[in-house]
Structure 1
Amino acid sequence: MAKQPMLKFTTVSRDMPEKRMPNLRREDFKEIYAEYADEKAQEQSSRCSQCGVPYCQTHCPLHNNIPDWLRLTAEGRLQEAYEVSQATNTFPEICGRICPQDRLCEGNCVIEQSGHGTVTIGSVEKYITDTAWENGWVQPIKPKTERAESVGIIGAGPGGLAAADVLRRAGVQVTIYDRYDRAGGLLTYGIPGFKLEKDVVMRRNDQLAEGGVNFELNCDVGVDISFADIRDKHDAVIIATGVYKTRDIQAPGVGGVGLERAIDFLTVSNRKSFGDKVEEFDSGRFNAEGKRVVVIGGGDTAMDCVRTSIRQGATSVKCLYRRDRANMPGSQREVQNAEEEGVVFEWLSAPKGFVGDPVTGVMVQKMRLGAPDVSGRQAPEVIEGADYVEEADLVIMALGFEPEDLPTLWNTPELPVNRWGTVKADYITGATELDGVYAVGDIVRGASLVVWAIKDGRDCAQAILEKMGASVAIAAE
């Protein structure tokens, strides 16, 4: 009888891929985790308990068939493992790198609940697809038949790209319109290379282009082409713009030199990583080198900013967050990585105002946690008389994102939006009240995770195919 390849969690300990030493990773923007070796990936996959009700799969927005591809990996059947992974996820190697597994699949792993440490699902997912690319198992998109229908997609972020992939595999003609010079959206310009190296994104962009997806880049809808013209050109339109408008803060000193938006700071840094000439960086405006940096916020964007500042050579980097560590929205794994690299977190601290123009400091008010707010989280309360000034030469606002006013920008007042400005759309199909117009990702949900945008894009594409009378099975091949 063949030896049981699974359920080894009682004898094999959890072991993440080797992480580069902090003093080395501070010096560049390369990814901080090494790749698993074949034997290690098999060993860690073998820890899966193959439970009857896989909570990892349930808590994955894409409902990836995690137990099956873990078993295939443990058995050394990597190409099959990749095919199972790719069946439900357009970009598994990206999710394996940037998903907050500690809050999703791994955070709900049954063996962790029993004290054995979670299966390293994200690292195995990354390994499977990276191996697939290396071995040529990732095949070009080649529709069996071409269809006459066309779909226009506004936004080349994860939601738009995922929808394009599904539609193109079914033979639909797809054009993606994006304001930037490279496709990928947040994957390209919002997430730093130490979490997601850019060649990983570019090869997916290339795969889509080679498969027949037409990219209209440097195309600002509402300026270079009207929304009405896009609707006229296509049988259906998917709005996948994401949310890029930074939430404002009302406080004395706002608007001074040295107070910057997180998305601008990260975009400039990523452009430099591509080798672009970027005047805003070369002038020193978005360069943290030699500066005392303060980042305000507690989400993953704030973590990206503090860790980018370290790599740019900041003298000191501090993160102000109004709640405590246990209540912050960002990944705890990212907080740990940041602390290892030298970031100092000032918990229960909020900005009250800013000193100087150019900025020389942040007026900080200390907080305590009071009664729960409407979300159920304890609301921060000001501690009177505990204010102080945190010295700073560069302050980065990472307070979250809001949608742009699309009905006004696109001269389409009939586009349905809710009171928060996000587009009203069906959460399953993405359909809006406008005939043939769909919306997916953050522009519907508000600022959310990449994996949710991928799910929305795939679901919307399937709904469009069904409406066209196309076989849904074709799109999944």
Structure 2
Amino acid sequence: MADDRMLKFVTVQRQMPTKRPPDLRRDDFAEIYSEFADDTAAEQSGRCSQCGVPYCQTHCPLHNNIPDWLRLTAQGRLKEAYEISQSTNTFPEICGRICPQDRLCEGNCVIEQSGHGTVTIGAVEKYITDTAFDEGWVKPVSPAVEREESVGIIGAGPGGLAAADMLRQAGIQVTVYDRYDRAGGLMIYGIPGFKLEKDVVMRRNRLLEDGGVTFRLNCNVGEDISFEEIRDSHDAVLIATGVYKSRGLQAPGVGAKGIVRAIDYLTASNRKSFGDDVPEYESGELNAEGRNVVVIGGGDTAMDCVRTAIRQGAKSVKCLYRRDKSNMPGSQREVANAEEEGVQFEWLTAPKGFSGDVVEGVMVSRMRLGAPDATGRQSPEIIEGGDYVEEADLVVMALGFEPEELPTLWGEEALEVTRWGTIKANFRTHETSLPGVYAVGDIVRGASLVVWAIRDGREAAQAMLDRFGAAATAVAAE
């Protein structure tokens, strides 16, 4: 018999959780969306069409069983909804907050394509797991049997932590090495609190520790410990370092004081939110208060920077992007939030230089879109005679990230990399050119999404378990 709590997309309008007004949220780093009320979450979940071919699931990198946990939420069976949600996703409450659902699951929802407005999948995903934490349903890993095999994971970002969780569930001994003083990678120091409050990540870190994961923080591989030592200490190694090397810009005046990297700017702000002593913030070097800020770039990192500058009390905040709004790589939802908060976007503009030994302005070229490039996107072209100067005394470069030269840094030339510097790894098992060494996430893909790193980490963990199982079978047969 059909469930009369479903297929309500014709009679029930799409509704997002309440968003705090811009004049209030500009003053703090708290998340801007409130939690769904129980009744609203059930009602919005009931809009799902329960279609035979769920494109939302197909376009989710983790292939989350979205229709099933929407149906269970509509029926009020939240514990079951949580169990299904977490069976495919190590961090559903994080993905519910920061995934670009408008480009993934929600953007491919069948009822969105038919003009009824997508199901608010991300908000329901967040609601399910936040409720699970509140109800005490989320427990630390407690493996049935402890095993002797051990894995060393280099990098405590989403890929490394997802693998650590899955390996511990199987009883594998796991040590995570990370250069920073807190685990979480860019989820801690890259993504601002208004998108992902830090206690959400720290809560997961504590769960992993309580489940038996060992963290060695402030541990820089190649300096504090060698890659060879890590390999000698473990049965397998996972490289999940991410990409932290900022892309540069070749232009006159680029070395002027007041031109900073996005990763440095965001890290300083997030450390300040933790209450850390941040001299670069206190000195004003990485603080936008009272300044004319220009952010260069059009991705999600650029959106994080412009919205952070607003909250720091910038005098003005402008974002330069060389294409138009429809061709922007960042989330359209984030662009809308930034515009509401007072960010001014200068579309079809590109920097050609900077004035002043201490930056005073950005020399800007106006652009137009010409013929498509190799990816099919229209290539920006300079409009002759359209140059002007944008006043700025703080410029944040958010042009993307590149991999560090790990074979050189770690003294391991046998670790094969691509021509882009990313690590070569098998696309199914994630094993590298070094036996027993795996790699996942951005260090393989290039700068990408948290959800893809989670998928990679889970797949690599399964490949290691398959390898350990095969090895155990071979030993038993001897």
TM range (shorter): over 0.9
- Cα distance in 2 for partners of 1:430, 1:189 equals 26
- Cα distance in 1 for partners of 2:111, 2:328 equals 25
- Report matched runs for 1:190-209 at 5 Å: 190-209=190-209
- Cα distance in 2 for partners of 1:244, 1:277 equals 22
Match in the other structure for 2:44 = 44
- Cα distance in 1 for partners of 2:422, 2:444 equals 5
Match in the other structure for 1:88 = 88
1:359 matched to 2:352? The reply is: no
Match in the other structure for 1:338 = 338
1:466 matched to 2:466? The reply is: yes
Match in the other structure for 1:112 = 112
Match in the other structure for 2:476 = none
- Cα distance in 1 for partners of 2:116, 2:253 equals 50
Amino acid at match of 2:232: D
- Cα distance in 1 for partners of 2:470, 2:367 equals 56
Match in the other structure for 2:475 = none
Match in the other structure for 2:68 = 68
- Report matched runs for 1:210-249 at 5 Å: 210-249=210-249
Mind listing any 5+ residue stretches in structure 1 that lack a counterpart?
472-477
Match in the other structure for 1:425 = 425
- Cα distance in 2 for partners of 1:100, 1:65 equals 18
Match in the other structure for 1:436 = 436
- Cα distance in 2 for partners of 1:8, 1:421 equals 49
SS at match of 1:469: helix
SS at match of 1:56: helix
How far off is 1:149 after superposition?
0.4
**Does structure 2 retain, via aligned residues, the 8 Å contact 1:253–1:356?**
yes
- Report matched runs for 1:283-432 at 5 Å: 283-432=283-432
1:97-150 CA distances to partner (integer Å, 9 max, x unpaired)?
Answer: 000000000000000111100000000000000000000000111010000000
**Does structure 2 retain, via aligned residues, the 8 Å contact 1:147–1:171?**
yes
1:43-84 CA distances to partner (integer Å, 9 max, x unpaired)?
Answer: 000000000000000000000000000000000000000000
Match in the other structure for 1:474 = none
SS at match of 2:152: strand
- Cα distance in 2 for partners of 1:105, 1:234 equals 38
1:303-336 CA distances to partner (integer Å, 9 max, x unpaired)?
Answer: 0000000000000000000000000100000000
* Structure 1 runs, 4 residues or longer, greater than 2 Å off: none
- Cα distance in 1 for partners of 2:433, 2:259 equals 40
1:164-185 CA distances to partner (integer Å, 9 max, x unpaired)?
Answer: 0000110000000000000000
How far off is 1:5 after superposition?
1.1
- Cα distance in 1 for partners of 2:182, 2:162 equals 16
- Cα distance in 2 for partners of 1:395, 1:428 equals 41
Amino acid at match of 1:374: A
Match in the other structure for 1:266 = 266
1:391-422 CA distances to partner (integer Å, 9 max, x unpaired)?
Answer: 00100000000000001100111110010000
Q: What is the number of residues matched between the two proteins?
A: 471
Amino acid at match of 1:213: V
- Cα distance in 2 for partners of 1:5, 1:63 equals 24
Amino acid at match of 2:288: A
Amino acid at match of 1:128: I
How far off is 1:433 after superposition?
1.4
1:171-230 CA distances to partner (integer Å, 9 max, x unpaired)?
Answer: 000000000000000000000000000000000000001110000000000000000000
- Report matched runs for 1:75-154 at 5 Å: 75-154=75-154
**Does structure 2 retain, via aligned residues, the 8 Å contact 1:170–1:470?**
no
**Does structure 2 retain, via aligned residues, the 8 Å contact 1:407–1:413?**
yes
- Cα distance in 2 for partners of 1:318, 1:357 equals 21
Match in the other structure for 1:445 = 445
Amino acid at match of 2:167: L
- Sort the Cα spacing of 1:96 and 1:142 in 2 relative to 1 into closer, same or farther, 3 A: same
SS at match of 2:232: helix
Amino acid at match of 2:315: T
Q: TM-score, normalising length from structure 2? A: 0.98
